[in-house]
Amino acid sequence: MRKSAVIELSRAKELLKDDVTLALVGREEIVRRERGIAPLIALLEEKRDVRGYAAADRIVGKAAAFLYVLLGVGAVYAEVMSAPAEEALSRFRIPFEAKTHTERIINRAGTGLCPMECAVEGIGEPADALPILQRKLAELRRGGEKKQ
């Protein structure tokens, strides 16, 4: 990782406190306070150019990892990262760090696997995951499933 990327990742990690759930540092600093993958999907839908940015996130599972690949970020830090997320980021050569490593991401109720992780379980390509995740997020927002 280049020196400036290390500094940017360090800054993103600093921003990840209190009610901040996502911080991206590059040409500018972007901070979000919404949980889950919704802020990542919003960045993609807004066509925000965050290529090469350093990202710090509370929880990164395979779904979020795929979205980071699509966003073209340069590095990812997570307080909690799943093994499938690590595999995806490694496969697409995105450097990552995690405070805590886990096998799976559990839903917010603690009763099972995160619905977004279930949605991408058999998916191998980030581009294939995006429409599936967009549909799942819309379904959850409509109350089609107990929210994660």
User: Are 58 and 16 in contact, with CB atoms under 8 Å apart?
Assistant: yes
List the alpha helices (DSSP H) in 3-125.
Answer: 3-15, 38-45, 62-71, 83-91, 115-120
Please give the backbone phi and psi of residue 110, each rounded to the nearest 5 degrees, phi first: 75, 20
What's the pLDDT at 144?
A: 59
Mean pLDDT (whole number) for 18-32? 94
Residue 125 has pLDDT above 70, yes or no: yes
Helix axes 62-71, 38-45, angle to 10 degrees: 20
What CATH number should be reported for the domain whose range is 3-142?
A: 3.40.140.30
How does pLDDT run across 105-123, given as a tens digit for each residue?
Answer: 999 899 999 999 999 999 9
- Sequence ranges of the domains in the chain: 3-142
Residue 141 has pLDDT above 80, yes or no: yes
- Measured at the CA of 55, the angle between CA 63 and CA 18, to 5 degrees, comes to 100
User: Are 136 and 114 in contact, with CB atoms under 8 Å apart?
Assistant: no
What's the pLDDT at 145?
A: 52
Q: Give SS3 for 111.
A: coil
What's the pLDDT at 2?
A: 66
Residue 11 has pLDDT above 60, yes or no: yes
What's the pLDDT at 18?
A: 80
What's the pLDDT at 148?
A: 42
How does pLDDT run across 87-103, given as a tens digit for each residue?
Answer: 999 999 999 999 999 99
